A = this chain, B = another copy of it.
Amino acid sequence: MALIVHKYGGTSMGSVERIKNVAQRVAKWHAAGHYMVVVPSAMSGETNRLLGLAKELSPQPDPRELDAIAATGEQVSVGLLAIALKAIGVDAVSYGGWQVPIHTDNAYTKARITSIEDARVRADLAKRKVVIITGFQGIDPEGNVTTLGRGGSDTSAVAVAAALKAEECLIYTDVDGVYTTDPRVVPEARRLEKVTFEEMLEMASLGSKVLQIRSVEFAGKYKVKTRVLSSLTPPDIDLAIEANSGTLVTFEEDETMEQAVISGIAFNRDEAKLTMLKVPDRPGIAYSILGPVAQANIDVDMIIQNASTDGTTDFSFTVHRNEYQRAMEVLNAAKDQMKAAQVLGDPKIAKVSVVGIGMRSHVGIASLMFRTLSEEGINIQMISTSEIKISVVIEDKYMELAVRALHKAFGLDQAA
Protein backbone atom coordinates (compact mmCIF):
# COMPACT_ATOMS: atom_id res chain seq x y z
CA MET A 1 0.00 0.00 0.00
CA ALA A 2 2.73 2.40 -0.96
CA LEU A 3 2.71 5.66 -2.87
CA ILE A 4 4.27 4.89 -6.25
CA VAL A 5 5.14 7.21 -9.15
CA HIS A 6 5.22 5.84 -12.69
CA LYS A 7 6.81 7.69 -15.60
CA TYR A 8 6.15 6.70 -19.22
CA GLY A 9 8.14 7.99 -22.18
CA GLY A 10 6.85 9.21 -25.52
CA THR A 11 7.19 5.81 -27.19
CA SER A 12 5.06 4.18 -24.47
CA MET A 13 2.42 6.89 -25.07
CA GLY A 14 2.85 6.79 -28.85
CA SER A 15 -0.56 5.51 -29.93
CA VAL A 16 -4.06 4.83 -28.64
CA GLU A 17 -3.18 1.13 -28.26
CA ARG A 18 -0.05 1.91 -26.27
CA ILE A 19 -1.91 4.34 -24.03
CA LYS A 20 -4.39 1.52 -23.31
CA ASN A 21 -1.42 -0.68 -22.32
CA VAL A 22 -0.14 2.01 -19.97
CA ALA A 23 -3.62 2.28 -18.43
CA GLN A 24 -3.73 -1.48 -17.88
CA ARG A 25 -0.34 -1.47 -16.22
CA VAL A 26 -1.25 1.42 -13.93
CA ALA A 27 -4.59 -0.24 -13.12
CA LYS A 28 -2.75 -3.39 -12.06
CA TRP A 29 -0.64 -1.42 -9.55
CA HIS A 30 -3.71 0.47 -8.35
CA ALA A 31 -5.64 -2.77 -7.88
CA ALA A 32 -2.80 -4.07 -5.72
CA GLY A 33 -3.63 -1.27 -3.31
CA HIS A 34 -0.95 1.26 -4.21
CA TYR A 35 -1.55 5.01 -4.40
CA MET A 36 -0.61 5.86 -7.96
CA VAL A 37 0.77 9.03 -9.53
CA VAL A 38 1.63 8.87 -13.24
CA VAL A 39 3.81 11.29 -15.23
CA PRO A 40 3.60 10.65 -18.99
CA SER A 41 5.56 12.31 -21.76
CA ALA A 42 4.01 13.71 -24.93
CA MET A 43 3.11 11.19 -27.61
CA SER A 44 6.28 10.42 -29.58
CA GLY A 45 6.91 12.90 -32.37
CA GLU A 46 4.51 15.48 -30.95
CA THR A 47 7.03 17.79 -29.30
CA ASN A 48 9.14 17.81 -32.48
CA ARG A 49 6.04 18.55 -34.57
CA LEU A 50 5.12 21.52 -32.36
CA LEU A 51 8.63 22.94 -32.21
CA GLY A 52 8.90 22.45 -35.99
CA LEU A 53 5.86 24.67 -36.56
CA ALA A 54 7.42 27.36 -34.38
CA LYS A 55 10.75 27.13 -36.18
CA GLU A 56 8.99 27.53 -39.52
CA LEU A 57 7.63 30.85 -38.30
CA SER A 58 10.86 32.16 -36.87
CA PRO A 59 14.47 30.95 -36.78
CA GLN A 60 14.64 32.10 -33.16
CA PRO A 61 11.17 31.75 -31.69
CA ASP A 62 10.37 33.58 -28.46
CA PRO A 63 11.23 31.11 -25.65
CA ARG A 64 8.13 31.95 -23.59
CA GLU A 65 5.84 31.18 -26.52
CA LEU A 66 7.88 28.11 -27.44
CA ASP A 67 7.35 26.70 -23.94
CA ALA A 68 3.61 27.39 -23.98
CA ILE A 69 3.37 25.56 -27.31
CA ALA A 70 5.62 22.60 -26.42
CA ALA A 71 3.85 22.05 -23.09
CA THR A 72 0.60 21.16 -24.87
CA GLY A 73 2.01 17.78 -25.95
CA GLU A 74 2.00 16.48 -22.38
CA GLN A 75 -1.33 18.17 -21.66
CA VAL A 76 -2.89 15.99 -24.33
CA SER A 77 -1.16 12.88 -22.98
CA VAL A 78 -2.42 13.26 -19.41
CA GLY A 79 -6.00 13.78 -20.55
CA LEU A 80 -5.89 10.75 -22.84
CA LEU A 81 -4.44 8.55 -20.11
CA ALA A 82 -7.13 9.67 -17.64
CA ILE A 83 -9.79 8.78 -20.21
CA ALA A 84 -8.14 5.38 -20.84
CA LEU A 85 -8.10 4.62 -17.11
CA LYS A 86 -11.73 5.64 -16.62
CA ALA A 87 -12.66 3.45 -19.60
CA ILE A 88 -11.44 0.42 -17.64
CA GLY A 89 -13.12 1.48 -14.42
CA VAL A 90 -10.25 3.22 -12.60
CA ASP A 91 -11.03 6.68 -11.28
CA ALA A 92 -8.39 9.12 -12.49
CA VAL A 93 -7.79 12.85 -12.81
CA SER A 94 -5.22 14.79 -14.84
CA TYR A 95 -3.43 18.03 -14.02
CA GLY A 96 -1.22 20.34 -16.01
CA GLY A 97 1.94 21.54 -14.31
CA TRP A 98 0.28 24.91 -13.59
CA GLN A 99 -2.63 23.20 -11.84
CA VAL A 100 -0.61 21.16 -9.34
CA PRO A 101 1.21 23.60 -9.33
CA ILE A 102 4.79 22.65 -10.11
CA HIS A 103 6.72 25.87 -9.47
CA THR A 104 9.82 26.61 -11.53
CA ASP A 105 12.14 29.51 -12.15
CA ASN A 106 11.55 31.51 -15.33
CA ALA A 107 14.40 30.10 -17.45
CA TYR A 108 12.23 29.23 -20.43
CA THR A 109 13.09 26.01 -22.31
CA LYS A 110 15.37 24.87 -19.46
CA ALA A 111 13.52 25.84 -16.29
CA ARG A 112 14.35 24.30 -12.91
CA ILE A 113 11.74 23.06 -10.48
CA THR A 114 11.75 25.11 -7.29
CA SER A 115 8.87 23.49 -5.39
CA ILE A 116 5.80 21.33 -5.86
CA GLU A 117 2.54 21.81 -3.96
CA ASP A 118 1.05 18.51 -2.89
CA ALA A 119 -2.33 19.37 -1.32
CA ARG A 120 -4.45 18.83 -4.42
CA VAL A 121 -2.68 15.59 -5.38
CA ARG A 122 -2.90 14.19 -1.85
CA ALA A 123 -6.62 14.94 -1.64
CA ASP A 124 -7.21 12.99 -4.85
CA LEU A 125 -5.00 10.10 -3.76
CA ALA A 126 -6.93 9.88 -0.49
CA LYS A 127 -10.02 9.29 -2.63
CA ARG A 128 -8.15 6.43 -4.37
CA LYS A 129 -7.90 8.37 -7.62
CA VAL A 130 -4.97 7.82 -9.95
CA VAL A 131 -3.40 11.28 -10.36
CA ILE A 132 -1.84 12.01 -13.75
CA ILE A 133 0.53 14.98 -13.97
CA THR A 134 2.13 16.49 -17.06
CA GLY A 135 5.85 15.92 -17.29
CA PHE A 136 8.36 18.41 -18.71
CA GLN A 137 6.70 21.58 -17.44
CA GLY A 138 5.72 23.92 -14.67
CA ILE A 139 4.75 27.51 -13.97
CA ASP A 140 7.01 30.44 -13.11
CA PRO A 141 6.35 33.05 -10.39
CA GLU A 142 4.50 35.28 -12.90
CA GLY A 143 2.17 32.49 -14.01
CA ASN A 144 3.87 31.71 -17.30
CA VAL A 145 4.23 28.15 -18.56
CA THR A 146 7.80 26.88 -18.53
CA THR A 147 9.40 23.66 -19.75
CA LEU A 148 12.33 21.80 -18.26
CA GLY A 149 14.11 20.99 -21.51
CA ARG A 150 14.48 17.75 -23.42
CA GLY A 151 13.91 14.64 -21.31
CA GLY A 152 12.43 16.81 -18.59
CA SER A 153 9.63 14.35 -17.88
CA ASP A 154 12.11 12.10 -16.04
CA THR A 155 12.95 15.05 -13.83
CA SER A 156 9.27 15.85 -13.29
CA ALA A 157 8.58 12.28 -12.19
CA VAL A 158 11.46 12.15 -9.73
CA ALA A 159 10.62 15.64 -8.40
CA VAL A 160 6.98 14.65 -7.89
CA ALA A 161 8.13 11.46 -6.15
CA ALA A 162 10.36 13.55 -3.89
CA ALA A 163 7.60 16.06 -3.08
CA LEU A 164 5.15 13.27 -2.23
CA LYS A 165 7.81 11.19 -0.45
CA ALA A 166 6.90 8.29 -2.73
CA GLU A 167 8.16 4.81 -1.92
CA GLU A 168 9.63 4.44 -5.41
CA CYS A 169 9.71 6.18 -8.78
CA LEU A 170 9.47 3.76 -11.72
CA ILE A 171 10.78 5.10 -15.03
CA TYR A 172 9.31 2.95 -17.81
CA THR A 173 11.35 3.13 -20.97
CA ASP A 174 12.16 1.14 -24.09
CA VAL A 175 15.26 -0.43 -22.54
CA ASP A 176 15.02 -2.86 -19.64
CA GLY A 177 17.57 -1.22 -17.40
CA VAL A 178 21.08 0.17 -17.08
CA TYR A 179 23.81 -1.95 -18.64
CA THR A 180 27.52 -2.32 -17.97
CA THR A 181 27.91 -0.73 -21.39
CA ASP A 182 25.95 -0.40 -24.64
CA PRO A 183 24.95 -3.95 -25.76
CA ARG A 184 25.13 -2.78 -29.39
CA VAL A 185 28.88 -2.33 -28.92
CA VAL A 186 29.54 -5.17 -26.50
CA PRO A 187 27.11 -8.10 -26.88
CA GLU A 188 28.27 -9.45 -23.50
CA ALA A 189 27.08 -6.32 -21.69
CA ARG A 190 25.00 -7.21 -18.62
CA ARG A 191 22.08 -5.44 -16.99
CA LEU A 192 22.91 -4.02 -13.55
CA GLU A 193 20.37 -4.87 -10.84
CA LYS A 194 21.46 -1.88 -8.83
CA VAL A 195 23.54 1.20 -9.44
CA THR A 196 24.19 4.10 -7.10
CA PHE A 197 22.98 7.51 -8.13
CA GLU A 198 26.57 8.78 -8.20
CA GLU A 199 27.49 6.09 -10.70
CA MET A 200 24.34 6.80 -12.65
CA LEU A 201 25.26 10.46 -12.74
CA GLU A 202 28.60 9.64 -14.30
CA MET A 203 27.03 7.17 -16.69
CA ALA A 204 24.30 9.62 -17.72
CA SER A 205 26.61 12.57 -18.28
CA LEU A 206 28.92 10.32 -20.25
CA GLY A 207 26.32 9.25 -22.73
CA SER A 208 24.30 6.38 -21.26
CA LYS A 209 21.05 7.94 -22.28
CA VAL A 210 18.72 5.91 -20.10
CA LEU A 211 17.84 8.65 -17.66
CA GLN A 212 17.99 12.40 -18.03
CA ILE A 213 20.90 13.66 -15.95
CA ARG A 214 18.95 16.24 -14.00
CA SER A 215 16.50 13.59 -12.84
CA VAL A 216 19.43 11.62 -11.42
CA GLU A 217 20.65 14.71 -9.57
CA PHE A 218 17.15 15.10 -8.13
CA ALA A 219 17.01 11.45 -7.14
CA GLY A 220 20.32 11.82 -5.33
CA LYS A 221 19.50 15.11 -3.65
CA TYR A 222 16.11 13.97 -2.33
CA LYS A 223 17.01 10.29 -1.91
CA VAL A 224 14.29 9.06 -4.26
CA LYS A 225 14.49 5.34 -4.99
CA THR A 226 14.29 5.28 -8.78
CA ARG A 227 13.94 2.21 -10.96
CA VAL A 228 14.50 2.08 -14.72
CA LEU A 229 12.49 -0.73 -16.29
CA SER A 230 10.92 -1.85 -19.53
CA SER A 231 7.54 -0.69 -20.78
CA LEU A 232 7.63 -3.46 -23.39
CA THR A 233 6.69 -6.30 -21.03
CA PRO A 234 3.02 -7.35 -21.20
CA PRO A 235 1.02 -4.94 -19.03
CA ASP A 236 -0.48 -7.84 -17.08
CA ILE A 237 2.90 -9.35 -16.14
CA ASP A 238 2.96 -10.43 -12.48
CA LEU A 239 3.42 -7.31 -10.35
CA ALA A 240 6.02 -8.85 -8.06
CA ILE A 241 8.18 -9.74 -11.07
CA GLU A 242 7.76 -6.30 -12.62
CA ALA A 243 8.51 -4.55 -9.32
CA ASN A 244 11.93 -6.26 -9.16
CA SER A 245 12.87 -5.93 -12.81
CA GLY A 246 15.06 -3.33 -14.45
CA THR A 247 17.76 -1.44 -12.59
CA LEU A 248 17.31 0.25 -9.23
CA VAL A 249 19.16 3.53 -8.80
CA THR A 250 19.84 3.67 -5.07
CA PHE A 251 20.85 6.68 -3.05
CA GLU A 252 23.07 4.75 -0.67
CA GLU A 253 25.64 2.05 -0.97
CA ASP A 254 24.19 -1.31 -0.18
CA GLU A 255 26.44 -2.56 2.59
CA THR A 256 25.28 -6.12 2.26
CA MET A 257 26.04 -6.28 -1.42
CA GLU A 258 29.41 -7.31 -2.71
CA GLN A 259 30.20 -4.12 -4.57
CA ALA A 260 31.75 -4.58 -7.97
CA VAL A 261 34.79 -2.39 -8.49
CA ILE A 262 33.57 -1.09 -11.83
CA SER A 263 29.89 -0.81 -12.73
CA GLY A 264 30.13 0.07 -16.37
CA ILE A 265 31.90 1.52 -19.35
CA ALA A 266 30.44 4.75 -20.71
CA PHE A 267 31.41 6.38 -23.98
CA ASN A 268 30.45 9.03 -26.48
CA ARG A 269 31.48 10.58 -29.76
CA ASP A 270 29.77 13.91 -29.13
CA GLU A 271 32.84 15.93 -28.30
CA ALA A 272 35.64 17.75 -30.03
CA LYS A 273 39.01 18.77 -28.66
CA LEU A 274 40.68 22.18 -28.84
CA THR A 275 44.24 23.02 -27.79
CA MET A 276 46.02 26.33 -27.40
CA LEU A 277 49.72 25.72 -27.87
CA LYS A 278 52.48 27.46 -25.96
CA VAL A 279 50.51 30.00 -24.00
CA PRO A 280 52.66 31.95 -21.54
CA ASP A 281 52.24 30.13 -18.21
CA ARG A 282 50.99 32.72 -15.74
CA PRO A 283 48.23 32.87 -13.13
CA GLY A 284 44.82 33.37 -14.64
CA ILE A 285 45.61 31.73 -17.94
CA ALA A 286 42.79 29.18 -17.64
CA TYR A 287 40.26 31.93 -17.05
CA SER A 288 41.58 34.09 -19.86
CA ILE A 289 41.11 31.19 -22.30
CA LEU A 290 37.83 29.79 -20.99
CA GLY A 291 36.27 33.17 -20.18
CA PRO A 292 35.58 34.07 -23.84
CA VAL A 293 34.36 30.50 -24.45
CA ALA A 294 31.87 30.76 -21.59
CA GLN A 295 30.78 34.20 -22.78
CA ALA A 296 29.95 32.63 -26.14
CA ASN A 297 27.69 30.28 -24.13
CA ILE A 298 29.69 27.17 -25.06
CA ASP A 299 29.79 24.40 -22.44
CA VAL A 300 33.19 22.90 -21.75
CA ASP A 301 33.59 19.32 -20.55
CA MET A 302 37.14 18.03 -19.95
CA ILE A 303 39.93 20.53 -19.25
CA ILE A 304 43.63 19.65 -19.25
CA GLN A 305 46.52 21.95 -18.62
CA ASN A 306 49.87 20.30 -19.19
CA ALA A 307 52.84 20.98 -16.93
CA SER A 308 55.08 23.66 -18.30
CA THR A 309 58.86 23.61 -18.63
CA ASP A 310 59.76 26.56 -20.81
CA GLY A 311 57.43 29.13 -19.27
CA THR A 312 54.63 28.24 -21.66
CA THR A 313 51.85 25.66 -21.36
CA ASP A 314 49.55 23.73 -23.70
CA PHE A 315 45.92 24.14 -22.69
CA SER A 316 43.33 21.65 -23.99
CA PHE A 317 39.61 21.24 -23.47
CA THR A 318 36.63 19.51 -25.07
CA VAL A 319 33.29 20.94 -26.17
CA HIS A 320 30.21 19.44 -27.78
CA ARG A 321 30.97 18.61 -31.40
CA ASN A 322 28.15 20.92 -32.57
CA GLU A 323 29.98 23.87 -31.03
CA TYR A 324 33.42 22.98 -32.35
CA GLN A 325 33.43 25.58 -35.13
CA ARG A 326 32.23 28.37 -32.88
CA ALA A 327 34.78 27.47 -30.21
CA MET A 328 37.57 27.52 -32.83
CA GLU A 329 36.50 31.00 -33.90
CA VAL A 330 36.51 32.23 -30.31
CA LEU A 331 40.02 30.87 -29.69
CA ASN A 332 41.43 32.18 -32.95
CA ALA A 333 40.05 35.62 -32.17
CA ALA A 334 41.71 35.51 -28.74
CA LYS A 335 44.97 33.90 -29.84
CA ASP A 336 47.12 36.97 -30.42
CA GLN A 337 46.08 38.72 -27.24
CA MET A 338 47.06 35.54 -25.34
CA LYS A 339 50.41 35.38 -27.14
CA ALA A 340 49.66 31.75 -27.96
CA ALA A 341 51.67 30.06 -30.69
CA GLN A 342 48.82 28.16 -32.32
CA VAL A 343 45.29 26.84 -31.94
CA LEU A 344 44.77 23.18 -32.76
CA GLY A 345 41.46 21.36 -33.01
CA ASP A 346 40.27 17.82 -33.51
CA PRO A 347 36.61 16.86 -33.81
CA LYS A 348 37.40 13.18 -34.41
CA ILE A 349 37.69 12.07 -30.84
CA ALA A 350 35.81 9.76 -28.53
CA LYS A 351 35.59 9.73 -24.76
CA VAL A 352 35.61 6.39 -22.94
CA SER A 353 35.14 6.13 -19.18
CA VAL A 354 35.18 3.43 -16.55
CA VAL A 355 32.69 4.19 -13.79
CA GLY A 356 32.30 2.55 -10.40
CA ILE A 357 31.68 3.60 -6.85
CA GLY A 358 33.88 0.62 -5.88
CA MET A 359 36.98 2.22 -7.35
CA ARG A 360 37.16 4.54 -4.36
CA SER A 361 38.47 1.69 -2.24
CA HIS A 362 40.53 -0.05 -4.90
CA VAL A 363 43.88 0.86 -6.31
CA GLY A 364 45.15 -0.05 -9.72
CA ILE A 365 42.01 0.79 -11.69
CA ALA A 366 43.76 3.49 -13.70
CA SER A 367 46.76 1.34 -14.43
CA LEU A 368 44.58 -1.60 -15.58
CA MET A 369 42.67 0.80 -17.85
CA PHE A 370 45.80 2.34 -19.37
CA ARG A 371 47.49 -1.07 -19.79
CA THR A 372 44.43 -2.48 -21.56
CA LEU A 373 44.33 0.40 -24.02
CA SER A 374 48.07 0.19 -24.58
CA GLU A 375 47.82 -3.53 -25.35
CA GLU A 376 45.29 -2.69 -28.06
CA GLY A 377 47.65 -0.06 -29.47
CA ILE A 378 45.30 2.81 -28.64
CA ASN A 379 46.95 6.16 -27.89
CA ILE A 380 45.48 8.21 -25.03
CA GLN A 381 45.12 11.92 -25.85
CA MET A 382 43.63 13.26 -22.62
CA ILE A 383 42.88 11.85 -19.17
CA SER A 384 40.54 13.14 -16.53
CA THR A 385 39.57 11.50 -13.27
CA SER A 386 37.01 11.86 -10.50
CA GLU A 387 36.43 9.81 -7.39
CA ILE A 388 34.31 7.25 -9.21
CA LYS A 389 35.35 7.46 -12.85
CA ILE A 390 38.35 7.67 -15.12
CA SER A 391 37.83 9.13 -18.61
CA VAL A 392 40.18 9.10 -21.54
CA VAL A 393 39.98 10.80 -24.92
CA ILE A 394 41.12 8.66 -27.85
CA GLU A 395 40.89 8.77 -31.63
CA ASP A 396 37.25 8.09 -32.42
CA LYS A 397 37.82 5.14 -34.74
CA TYR A 398 39.15 3.12 -31.79
CA MET A 399 36.11 3.72 -29.58
CA GLU A 400 34.32 0.35 -29.97
CA LEU A 401 37.60 -1.54 -29.65
CA ALA A 402 38.43 0.32 -26.44
CA VAL A 403 34.98 -0.25 -24.93
CA ARG A 404 35.05 -4.00 -25.67
CA ALA A 405 38.57 -4.42 -24.34
CA LEU A 406 37.81 -2.53 -21.12
CA HIS A 407 34.50 -4.35 -20.59
CA LYS A 408 36.42 -7.63 -20.70
CA ALA A 409 39.43 -6.45 -18.71
CA PHE A 410 37.25 -5.33 -15.80
CA GLY A 411 35.35 -8.62 -15.75
CA LEU A 412 31.99 -7.05 -16.64
CA ASP A 413 31.24 -9.92 -19.03
CA GLN A 414 30.74 -12.34 -16.15
CA ALA A 415 27.66 -12.37 -13.99
CA ALA A 416 28.36 -10.79 -10.62
> Which residues of chain A have a CB within 8 Å of any CB of chain B?
16, 19-20, 50, 53-54, 56-58, 61-62, 64-66, 68-69, 71-72, 75-76, 78-80, 82-84, 86-87, 93-94, 96, 98-99, 143-145
Contact = CB atoms under 8 A, between A and B. Distances in A.
Which of A58, A69, A83, A99 has its CB near the most chain B CB atoms (within 10 A)?
Answer: A83
Given A53-B16, A76-B50, A86 B68 contact: no
- Chain A's interface: helix, strand, loop or mixed, by majority? helix
B62 A86 contact: yes
Nearest to A87: B58
Nearest to A91: B62
A111 B157 CA distance: 32
A178 to B, nearest CB: 32
Given A69-B79, A78-B68, A84 B99 contact: no
Nearest to A71: B75
Given A58-B83, A65-B80, A68-B96, 10 more contacts: A19-B57, A58-B86, A65-B79, A65-B82, A65-B83, A69-B80, A72-B76, A75-B75, A98-B98, A99-B143
Nearest to A52: B16
Contact of A57 (B20, B56, B62): B20
A72 B80 CA distance: 12
Contacts of A94: 65, 68
A217 B144 CA distance: 32
Contacts of A144: 99
A20 B53 CA distance: 12
Contact of A72 (B62, B66, B75, B87): B75
A189 to B, nearest CB: 38
Q: Which 9 pairs, one residue from A and one from B, show the smallest C-beta to C-beta distance?
A: A69-B79, A72-B72, A58-B87, A65-B79, A16-B56, A61-B83, A65-B82, A68-B79, A57-B84
